[in-house]
A and B are shown apart, each in its own frame.
Chain A
Amino acid sequence: MNILRPYCFLLIFSAFALAVHAQDGHTHQEGSEHHNHDHAAPAQESPDHAQPEHSTAIHGTDAAGHADAAGAHEGCGHTDDPNAPFNAGELALHHISDANAIHIVGDWYFHLPVILYAPGHGWKWASTRSFKTHHHGNGTVAQDGYVLVHGNVMRVQDPAFPKGEVPVSEPSHETTTVNGKEKITYYVKANDICYKLDPKTTLDGGLMGGGITSFYDFSITRNVFTMLLVCGLLFWMFRAVAKAYTTRDGQAPRGLQNAMETFVTFIRDEVAIPNIGHGYERFMPYLLSVFFFILGLNLFGQLPIFPGSANVTGNISITMVLAVITFLITNLSGNKHYWEHTLWMPGVPALLKILILTPVEVLGLFLKPFTLMLRLFANITAGHIVIVSFVSLIFIFGKAGESLGGTAVGLAASIPLTLFIMAIELLVAFLQAYIFTMLSAVYFGMATEEAHH
């Protein structure tokens, strides 16, 4: 049996490396793919007509303005060079981003429903299968003006784009600098006319290059699918455990019930009671839910293959929602003593309170859930980026398949590092779930604390 163990290690690791490499669709063997570098775009009329009506509505008004003035020379961008060198940073960013279809291997996608809304054009319900994807998750047809680019849905800005199913070219892109930040604009060609593409609306106020665009994406994306999967799994697990307490009442716990009982009593005895004290039962459902939800999502993110490999807790929107819920529960269950100590603490001169202490306390009120959000997001995202980088070492050393000796060196360097980091990430998965739960319990405790003067 000991002989099989290194073989199993190698097998699991090869599956992992294969999955990571599958994210990078093009290899050097595909030399037959044709290059189309469209630097002299034949038709610039369509982009020009599309710009003026939408330029005020779109967030990147600078880009639209510049494109307007330079519309005649803008061109259609350039497509991905299939012989481009392996870019580990791009691979890492692709792994931690959300996508509308789950990429499994090569050109095989697990298709998901797509729910889109464009103001003035109504709703569109479809599946990513209807976009007929080929390489890198680029759809070969457009449906009612929507196109699939690198696994994400984008929309043609031009209202004159024909409805229904329209064959389109491979998307091309162009990088411009707006307000000192790089902005990538995507184009697609249909019937030899170049159309500019809109990404989905993001409510980040332009912080990460987002903003209000011409459509809203409410689809079941990779993250949503994984969240639903984890919720279903947790519900099934705990329903079985709860039933075990009624069918095996009075007997010693066994199996799954035994394992879950350890976690639940740990949260109750080490997290809830010490921090909240009297009246902790009110908060137990939320603390348990948030602990197992974050733990399940963290662990699913560590699996390299479908249905895992989805970076859910590393998505700041999801951690933001969890932090907002903690914030709401904290402040809605705050008693008089809590608000007194936050806003108008006794025993301090009034001037000091108004000028310094109360503003600082109010700031702290918002900052505490904010750090909850960022801590979970940063830990998980950083872990994922590090793991993808270490596995990419194989491909960097082996020049993405060209050199066999290099690949061997890459394996020798990458396997121990990756195993080590994955062990740490396992610890981080548990630890971050525990810390989120514990800090939530601390905030609840502070909010419901009785006066003890």
Chain B
Amino acid sequence: MELATIGAGLAAIGAGLGIGLIGSKAVEGIARQPEATGDIRGIVILTAALIEGAALICMVLSFFV
């Protein structure tokens, strides 16, 4: 029952929710306007990496502090 591990798990939930939301909106956008696929793809990868950054910061801090 390490609190650090529970904290890391919560961070993973946050990341999963955030990126899931991006993914769903991206797919909706592409469905509405297939020509914008290229632009949307770039924005999705960028935003996913930023959200992963926040989640990983929390994960690393929970294990090393």
- Pick the contact of A375 from B45, B56, B65 — CB < 8 Å? B56
The interface stretch among A18-26, A185-193, A377-385 is A377-385
CB of A431 within 8 A of CB of B45, answer yes
Chain A residues positioned under 8 Å from B50 (CB to CB): 375, 435
Chain B residues positioned under 8 Å from A207 (CB to CB): 65
Closest chain-B Cβ to A326's Cβ sits at a distance in Å of: 15
Chain A, 321-346, contact with B by CB distance < 8 Å: what is the 0/1 string? 00000000000000000000000000
Chain B residues positioned under 8 Å from A438 (CB to CB): 46
- Pick the contact of A378 from B45, B46, B53, B65 — CB < 8 Å? B53
Chain A residues positioned under 8 Å from B6 (CB to CB): none
Residue of A at shortest CB range from B49? Answer: A431
Closest chain-B Cβ to A428's Cβ sits at a distance in Å of: 8
Chain B residues positioned under 8 Å from A378 (CB to CB): 53, 56-57, 59-60
CB of B64 within 8 A of CB of A377, answer no
Closest chain-B Cβ to A224's Cβ sits at a distance in Å of: 22
Inter-chain contact count A-B, CB under 8 Å?
Answer: 39
Q: Contacts A431-B49, A435-B49, A435-B50 given: A382-B65 contact, CB under 8 Å?
A: no
Q: Contacts A371-B57, A374-B60 given: A379-B52 contact, CB under 8 Å?
A: yes
Most chain A beta carbons < 10 A, residue from B52, B53, B59, B64: B53
> Chain A interface residue count: which class?
10 to 19
Within 8 Å of chain B (Cβ to Cβ): is A172? no
CB of B60 within 8 A of CB of A435, answer no
Closest chain-B Cβ to A438's Cβ sits at a distance in Å of: 8
Q: Contacts A208-B64, A431-B45 given: A371-B53 contact, CB under 8 Å?
A: yes
Chain B residues positioned under 8 Å from A379 (CB to CB): 49, 52-53, 56
Residue of A at shortest CB range from B8? Answer: A382
Within 8 Å of chain B (Cβ to Cβ): is A219? no
Residue of A at shortest CB range from B42? Answer: A270
- Pick the contact of B57 from A374, A428, A431, A435 — CB < 8 Å? A374
CB of B53 within 8 A of CB of A375, answer yes
Within 8 Å of chain B (Cβ to Cβ): is A432? yes
CB of A432 within 8 A of CB of B56, answer no
Closest chain-A Cβ to B57's Cβ sits at a distance in Å of: 4
- Determine the distance from Cα of A379 to Cα of B48 in the docked complex, in whole angstroms: 12
Closest chain-B Cβ to A111's Cβ sits at a distance in Å of: 30
- Determine the distance from Cα of A382 to Cα of B53 in the docked complex, in whole angstroms: 11
- Determine the distance from Cα of A207 to Cα of B54 in the docked complex, in whole angstroms: 20
Chain B residues positioned under 8 Å from A374 (CB to CB): 53, 57, 60-61
Closest chain-A Cβ to B53's Cβ sits at a distance in Å of: 4
Question: Which positions in B face A, CB cutoff 8 Å?
Answer: 45-46, 49-50, 52-54, 56-57, 59-61, 64-65
The 4 closest A-B pairs by CB, nearest first: A375-B53, A378-B56, A378-B60, A374-B57
Interchain residue pairs with CB less than 8 A apart (30): A208-B64, A208-B65, A371-B54, A371-B57, A374-B53, A374-B57, A374-B60, A374-B61, A375-B50, A375-B53, A375-B54, A375-B56, A377-B60, A378-B53, A378-B56, A378-B57, A378-B60, A379-B52, A379-B53, A381-B60, A382-B56, A382-B59, A382-B60, A431-B45, A431-B46, A431-B49, A432-B49, A435-B46, A435-B53, A438-B46
